[in-house]
Amino acid sequence: MADTPNFKDLKAPKEGARISFKDGDPVVPDNPIVPFIEGDGTGRDIWKASVRVLDAAVAKAFGGKRKVHWFEVYAGEKANDKYGTYLPDDTVEAIKFYGVGIKGPLTTPVGGGFRSINVALRQVLDLYSCVRPVKYFAGVPSPMKDPSAVDLVIYRENTEDVYSGIEWRAETPEAKKVIDFLNSVLAGDPSSKGKKIAEASGIGIKPVSKFKSQRHMRRALKYAVRYGINDVAIIHKGNIMKYTEGAFRDWCYELATTEFRDHVVTEDELWKNHDGKMPKGKILVKDRIADSAFQQILLRPSEYKMLVTMNLNGDYLSDAAAAQVGGLGIAPGANIGDHGAVFEATHGTAPKYADKDMINPGAVILSGAMMFEWMGWLGARDLVLKGMQGAISAKTVTYDFERQMPGATKVGTAAFGDAIIKQMG
Ligand code: NAP
């Protein structure tokens, strides 16, 4: 890759250095340049509060030895006002060049004709794992009896499955051609077993490959080994979709029991070789059918630490799990690949609260904590988590929590940021 970014309008920052990559992991200088997208609507308030919290955590953790050089890049309405496009090429180039980005929520304009930034960045940087930690902060209103039992991380495959975008509308010539091919040419195939597809069906394709399943599982297991996660569940619907979901399960097991042989025990092996007793220091790799996984994380959450999923199952499961620990306002996420990562809140722009200094900035702040973890800046990560827990325990919270927390003090977005900084100690 070139040594300088190829910008049309943006100017590369004069200070700071670029993150590089080795074996899929970031090599982070003490002064990394991090492009950020402020976000539309409430994104403005959220970013102002978040950047103060993140800078305070780094300053406190590393006493001036390390510093993030934030670099504003544009997307969404701000980009459209400035450059006449919702996603300038410069923004994609900046995140690609510096290998990292953090973003607030963006409006999805109604009508088409624009590129989705999430899709563009995912494709350009091949961000193949979507990661969502689901962690309970004591005191957050939750529908669960004991939400503290929920502490897991969801690794969702991000590039294939039914999201591949290969679909044909019902009754189009293309759909008819595919149906005709399946009903006639492949009719004798044993897996078709004489089944026929109704003439006027819409058709979608669900590709799942060994390479993409295994690189995703590899990233998840590397994380589990690094952070001492001792339980990894492969989630699938392989009982019904044998050659896609079932194959995903098999490929994940294959990778775990070859590349990670010294680290893992499968559930089968546990009973066959260890009488059901977990050998010390090993990671249990098990699998669960997707529908049962929904029940399990509700009924026996403490038995799950990491879920490795395909794209669609992960989409459903991550929102359901986030709801268990208090929902959208504090749900962070990351899209990670071997040459870059983008961190973001999972909520939208909540436009009715724009510029009212009301919205909960927690999700972007926790996305920043995820970024620090990815960078290996664990001291800064821990301070953000400590500050967040402290502010919630002190019941100094934004409207969304205050309305469900008896005795809480309602504060605005900026003051919630201040409360987090104060609670860092
Ligand atoms: P939304 O912006 O997520 O907001 C829905 C509701 O969720 C809000 O009215 C609010 O509920 C609550 N909420 C969301 N974020 C919150 C926060 N930080 N703190 C507290 N409460 C929060 O969903 P939407 O209204 O469906 O979408 C609005 C726009 O965002 C659309 O243009 C959509 O396309 C876009 N969007 C973007 C992303 C993204 O960029 N990643 C993701 C999703 C949607 P109450 O009213 O009950 O307080």
Dump pLDDT digits (tens) for 173-186: 999 999 999 998 88
Q: Is 74 labeled as catalytic in the residue annotation?
A: no
Tell me, yes or no, whether 62 and 72 share the same domain: yes
* Angle, alpha carbons 60-65-67 (nearest 5°): 75
pLDDT at res. 215: 98
CATH number of the domain at 44, please: 3.40.718.10
Share of the chain above pLDDT 70, in %: 98
Q: Is the CB of 160 under 6 A from ligand 1?
A: no
Ligand 1 centroid–CA 53 distance in Å is 22
Q: Is the CB of 322 under 6 A from ligand 1?
A: no
Tell me, yes or no, whether 246 and 156 share the same domain: yes
Last residue in a domain, options 305, 324, 343: 324
List the structure tokens of 115.
């590129």
Tell me, yes or no, whether 147 and 294 share the same domain: yes
> Looking at residues 22-45, what average pLDDT do you find?
96
Q: Are 396 and 140 in contact (CB under 8 A)?
A: no
Tell me, yes or no, whether 157 and 299 share the same domain: yes
Please say if the pLDDT value at position 42 is more than 80: yes
Tell me, yes or no, whether 150 and 242 share the same domain: yes
Cα(273)–Cα(268) distance, rounded to whole angstroms?
A: 8
Q: Three-state SS for 262?
A: coil
Q: Is 237 labeled as catalytic in the residue annotation?
A: yes
Least confident of 188-197, 329-338, 343-352: 188-197
pLDDT at res. 46: 97
pLDDT at res. 187: 80
Tell me, yes or no, whether 22 and 45 share the same domain: yes
Q: Nearest residue CA, atom 42 of ligand 1?
A: 348
Q: Nearest residue CA, atom 43 of ligand 1?
A: 348
Ligand 1 centroid–CA 329 distance in Å is 9
Q: CB count, 10 Å around CB of 159?
A: 21
Last residue in a domain, options 324, 353, 385: 324
Last residue in a domain, options 289, 324, 359: 324
pLDDT at res. 329: 78
Which residue type is seen at 142?
S
Environment class of 211 (CB within 10 Å of its CB; exposed 0-12, middle 13-18, buried 19+)? exposed
DSSP string, 339-375: S-EEEEESS---GGGTTSS-S--HHHHHHHHHHHHHH
Q: Is 399 labeled as catalytic in the residue annotation?
A: no
Cα(186)–Cα(174) distance, rounded to whole angstroms?
A: 17
pLDDT at res. 221: 98
Cα(153)–Cα(373) distance, rounded to whole angstroms?
A: 13
Tell me, yes or no, whether 23 and 111 share the same domain: yes
Q: Is the CB of 341 under 6 A from ligand 1?
A: no
> Looking at residues 61-82, what average pLDDT do you find?
96
Domain that holds residue 272: 143-161+209-324
Q: Nearest residue CA, atom 41 of ligand 1?
A: 105
Q: Is the CB of 328 under 6 A from ligand 1?
A: yes
Q: What is the DSSP letter of 184?
A: I
Tell me, yes or no, whether 121 and 81 share the same domain: yes
- What's the CA dihedral at 141, 142, 146, 149 to 10 degrees? -100
Total domain count for the chain? 3
Tell me, yes or no, whether 306 and 408 share the same domain: no
Report the DSSP pairing between strands 100-103 and 129-135.
Answer: unpaired
pLDDT at res. 387: 98
Determine which one of 227, 291, 355, 356 is catalytic. Answer: 291
pLDDT at res. 5: 93
Q: Are 193 and 182 in contact (CB under 8 A)?
A: no
List the structure tokens of 199.
């003439």
Quick: pLDDT tens for 221-271: 999 999 999 999 999 999 999 999 999 999 999 999 999 999 999 999 999
Determine which one of 315, 338, 353, 400 is catalytic. Answer: 315
Q: Are 359 and 350 in contact (CB under 8 A)?
A: yes
Quick: pLDDT tens for 338-389: 999 999 998 889 999 999 999 999 999 999 999 999 999 999 999 999 999 9
Pocket probe for ligand 1: among 47, 106, 319, 347, the residue whose CB has the most ligand atoms within 8 Å is 347
End-to-end CA distance of the chain: 42
Tell me, yes or no, whether 189 and 218 share the same domain: no
What are the counts of helices (DSSP H) followed by strands (DSSP E) for the chain? 14, 17
Cα(214)–Cα(360) distance, rounded to whole angstroms?
A: 37
Kindly give the number of the ligand 1 atom that is closest to the alpha carbon of 362. Answer: 18
Q: Is the CB of 85 under 6 A from ligand 1?
A: no
pLDDT at res. 117: 77
Quick: pLDDT tens for 143-159: 899 999 999 999 999 99
pTM of the model: 0.94
Please say if the pLDDT value at position 403 is more than 80: yes
Q: Nearest residue CA, atom 22 of ligand 1?
A: 329
Tell me, yes or no, whether 187 and 220 share the same domain: no
Alpha helices in 148-289 (DSSP H): 173-180, 210-226, 247-258, 267-274
pLDDT at res. 114: 64
Tell me, yes or no, whether 282 and 406 share the same domain: no
Q: Is 189 labeled as catalytic in the residue annotation?
A: no
Q: Is the CB of 367 under 6 A from ligand 1?
A: no
Ligand 1 centroid–CA 34 distance in Å is 25
